[in-house]
Structure 1
Amino acid sequence: MDEEPTESLWVRIKGMAGTGDISVGVCYRPPSQEDQVDEALDRQIGAASCSQALVLLGDFNHPNICWRANTAGHKQSGRFLECTDDNFLLQVIEEPTRRGAMLDLVLTNKEGLVGNVKLKGSLGCNGHEMVEFKILRATRRAHSKLTTLAFRRADFGLFTDLLGRMPWDKALEGRGAQES
């Protein structure tokens, strides 16, 4: 990509006949990473999240994100949290991975794709917990009729315009008549 370099590696694991491919990204985000590099990483994550199946893991250095409450205590962390939300990524690690902080993450765009997540102690003396998990695959790709909406491509101007044209006073009058 013709943009800021990120510390990331992206691979596509080809599935056997009848099974889909899996894209896997491994990232390291330094704690003092500049905004332009964060934005480049967000764009890479956005492009990769269009994959049928994605597993993204690494040390993202966002210790002030509360994944349970979906909140962030810092501007850069808030942008990363927004990126994961915009790309419908689920964070699957539930325990702190380094000195009580959740720095190391495993994210996926498919519920049930990643399972059996365990922290296995540190490898060597780096202080990070080793994360072990399985990528769960069905033997055949299921063809789902469920559609995922692409909100990034929505025409919110048209939506607002259509809402503005609705005769709200008449709709509300009819509702009041039904309730009485």
Structure 2
Amino acid sequence: MCTVGPQALGTKIQVDANTDLLSAKEELVCKLLQELDPYKSMGPDNIHLRMLRDLADVIARTLSIIFAKSWRSGDVPEDWKKANVTPIYKKGLKEDPGNYRPISLTSVPGKLWNESS
């Protein structure tokens, strides 16, 4: 077995060397959900991060099943691929389009899937 982990969260995921498939563990998904910052913006799915964090114990199993099936099939749900790109003002004249930077707001479960893979 080898271990892979999202460095930002200090968590580890185990990959079975025999099947080379990610075993998305419910505990890891629950931990990732509980560490969400409720003050961040919602993605295009309009699911508030506070709700995901507060209901982590309830939805962790379902998300871990979705993650495992997605990993095995190689397909990511279409909703996780969508993003809202919005311009955020940097500095200078607000009338100049070059003074804005694009911010991509993506689905939170999609981000969790990326962190757990």
TM-score, length basis structure 1 = 0.19
Structure with larger Rg: 1
The structure where strand makes up a greater share of residues is: 1
Q: Which has the higher contact order (CA 8 A, sep 6+)?
A: 2
TM-score, length basis structure 2 = 0.26
